[in-house]
Structure 1
Amino acid sequence: MNILLTSVGRRSYLVKYFKEGLKGTGKVYVSNSSEGAPAFKNADEYVVTPIIYDELYIEFLKNYCLEKNIEGVISLFDVDLLMLSKHKKEFEKLGIKIIVSNENVINICNDKWKTKIFLHENSFDLPKTYLDLEEVVKDIENGNLNFPLILKPRWGMGSISIYEAENMEELRVFYKKIDREIYRTYLKYESEETVGSNILIQEKILGQEYGLDIINDLNGNYCTTIVKKKNAMRCGETDCAEVIDFKELKEIGKKISSKLKHIGNLDVDLFIKDNNIYILEMNARFGGGYPFSHLAGVDLPKAIVKWLKNEDVNYEEVFKEKYGVIGQKDIEIISIK
């Protein structure tokens, strides 16, 4: 069985995890639209694709999968998730399983305003969240909202254009700055659908941050939730974390799973302040915090391989985490040429 990881970027560790999951029964192929992706070094084979929004992208992937006898495709990038979710049936007709949630789930996660609506409608607490700048100003003047405030793109990902405003002047300056910056990045594609309401403004929650890996099987059935206490962050990703036993957060993971019915991993960020749990955002993919779960004994890549082979998965074996395991990301320099 061969697997393709698309938009692989720097996720070399996931390439290694899937190689271990296959145990020599197949190859791990990777793709990226940039030929300088560091993870290329660890794959059995790699390919440079057209950019995700190129009209040739999907056809290119189909042909590549057929050429290399690839049976499972997993994306590691938010923009790619949406594109692949729209074409899942086309791949399935060719015998290729796209391990991505349906389009509605991806939209809820990628569009942070839809995330807010989903959380509110399902009775989850979240930071006060706005799309209208003047509504924010009005709430500040009326004493219903306080600085600092976080501003970020509605379709944000990868910590692009995130700013913290401590006063009214910064609020207005950062709002205009983000509006300009969006159209200089790949965020411009989704943002073209929501012109005039592309900037999210949220109250900043000053509390302990946690991350969840909420794992469902390939049919959207709940498997487990792994809880990580975040000890340090770097560029929007978890840099140091401890896997812990936190029953209340595990129950929240189970509830989110039942409402969303995602496929595979759902990466969730949340804060706890004064015993209140605030959900910040959700990503329908392997997140930057997954390696901490893996370090503690969780092996989702192994489970995915077994699911693709229609083999039984022993959840006690592949999803049983060891509590108290603390991980720290390292920096390694590699040659890409």
Structure 2
Amino acid sequence: MNLLFTSAGRRVSLIRNFKTSMEKLNIRGNIITADRKKDASACFVSDYSEQVPPVSDPTYIDVLLKICRDYEITLLIPLIDPELSLLSRHSKPFEDIGIKLLVSSPEVNKICINKRVTYDFFKSNHISTPQLYSLEELSKENNRISYPLIIKPANGSCSINVNKVHNFKELIFFLHHTQNPIIQEYISGEEYTLDILVDFEGKAKVVVPRLRMETRAGESSKGITVKNSALIEAGKKVAESLPGAIGCITAQCFLTKEGDIKFIEINPRFGGGFPLSYHAGADFPGWILAMAQGQELQVSIDEWKDGIVMLRFDDAIFTTKNKI
């Protein structure tokens, strides 16, 4: 059973998690990584690696198909947002040669890639989320909207260009320095990432809430697993409301001091902090491999350990110049 991870980048821990699960399950096969950069660190912990063009290149799909044929790939797992929509729209050529894609439907990717559409999805499914405001609303003299507010790109990621504004003057400044901006109610509380495993029938099998104790460049650098039944049920509802979710769905939310859960974002892929859930016993890699082989999962939604802490730090891969 050979696996292909595309846009592997720095996802060293995730590749190692899959290797460990394959060994535990006595699954024979290789892990192949693909990235546009020869010096992507994850490519040095896989069995084989291939350099590919950027996702935006018109030949990208054809290149991946060739890699799949050459390595007799069973399962392809993309790891960055820009290629999720692309692969979801071009799934048939892969399916025609027996390749299973761990990619949600085009509808799910449309919902998740644009935060305005995500907001509409939350509202239409009665899922609590911070209110969005228009500039017209905020410009009215008699508006009762209180600051601070959050302004960020509708298509942003990794917390890039997310700014907290305290008054109308600051808002106008950041509106001129933010591409495709949205203006959102500011929510105070504990921020959680929920790792949700969804089977090929769209059922949420496992939900792991991770408290984001500290973040760096939009990813959790310190976190702890928390068995909160309300968060678990809320995450299950989010995932099962999506029209065609598959695999690892990563949802972000705030838990306020009043106990309200407000969702802000969904990413239909493995999040950067997933290794915490894995080390807490949530064997998403092993369970995904089992599902790919047609097995029905017999796991409980909270089949993982509470209170496991992750403290991330920088590490290094050492190689020679001729390899990069």
TM over 0.5, yes or no? yes
What RMSD, in angstroms, separates the aligned Cα atoms of the two structures? Answer: 1.7
Contact map agreement 2:130 2:184 (CA 8 A) in 1: yes
Contact map agreement 1:229 1:241 (CA 8 A) in 2: yes
Structure 1 residue 255 displacement after superposition = 1.3
**In the alignment, which of 289, 304, 313 is matched to residue 288 of structure 2?**
304
Total equivalences in the alignment: 315
The amino acid that maps onto 1:117 is D
Contact map agreement 2:33 2:50 (CA 8 A) in 1: yes
**In the alignment, which of 66, 69, 72 is matched to residue 66 of structure 1?**
69
Contact map agreement 2:17 2:275 (CA 8 A) in 1: no
Contact map agreement 2:127 2:238 (CA 8 A) in 1: no
Q: How is 1:58-137 mapped onto 2 (pairs within 5 angstroms)?
A: 58-130=61-133, 132-137=134-139
Distance in 2 between residues matched to 1:31 and 1:307, nearest whole Å: 23
Structure 1 residues 262-320: Cα deviation after superposition (integer angstroms, max 9, x where no partner): 1011111111222221111111011123111111111111111122222344425x972
Contact map agreement 2:14 2:274 (CA 8 A) in 1: no
- Consecutive unaligned residues of structure 2, counting only runs of 5 or more, are none
1:210 aligns with 2:192: yes
Distance in 1 between residues matched to 2:211 and 2:159, nearest whole Å: 20
Distance in 2 between residues matched to 1:10 and 1:146, nearest whole Å: 40
Q: 1:332 to 1:283 in 2, by over 3 A?
A: same
1:38 aligns with 2:41: yes
The secondary structure found in structure 2 opposite 1:310 is coil
The secondary structure found in structure 2 opposite 1:177 is coil
Q: Quote the residue 1:20 is aligned against.
A: 20
Q: How is 1:226-305 mapped onto 2 (pairs within 5 angstroms)?
A: 226-260=208-242, 261-273=244-256, 274-305=258-289
Q: 1:34 to 1:319 in 2, by over 3 A?
A: farther
Instruction: Please give the TM-score of this superposition, normalised by the length of structure 1.
Output: 0.89
Q: How is 1:180-195 mapped onto 2 (pairs within 5 angstroms)?
A: none
Distance in 1 between residues matched to 2:185 and 2:302, nearest whole Å: 35
- Which stretch has the larger CA shift, 164-173 or 243-252? 164-173
The amino acid that maps onto 2:83 is D
Runs ≥4 residues deviating over 6 A: none
- Which stretch has the larger CA shift, 213-222 or 265-274? 213-222
Q: 1:142 to 1:48 in 2, by over 3 A?
A: farther
Structure 1 residues 8-48: Cα deviation after superposition (integer angstroms, max 9, x where no partner): 11110111111122226011111112222111111111111
Distance in 2 between residues matched to 1:166 and 1:234, nearest whole Å: 23
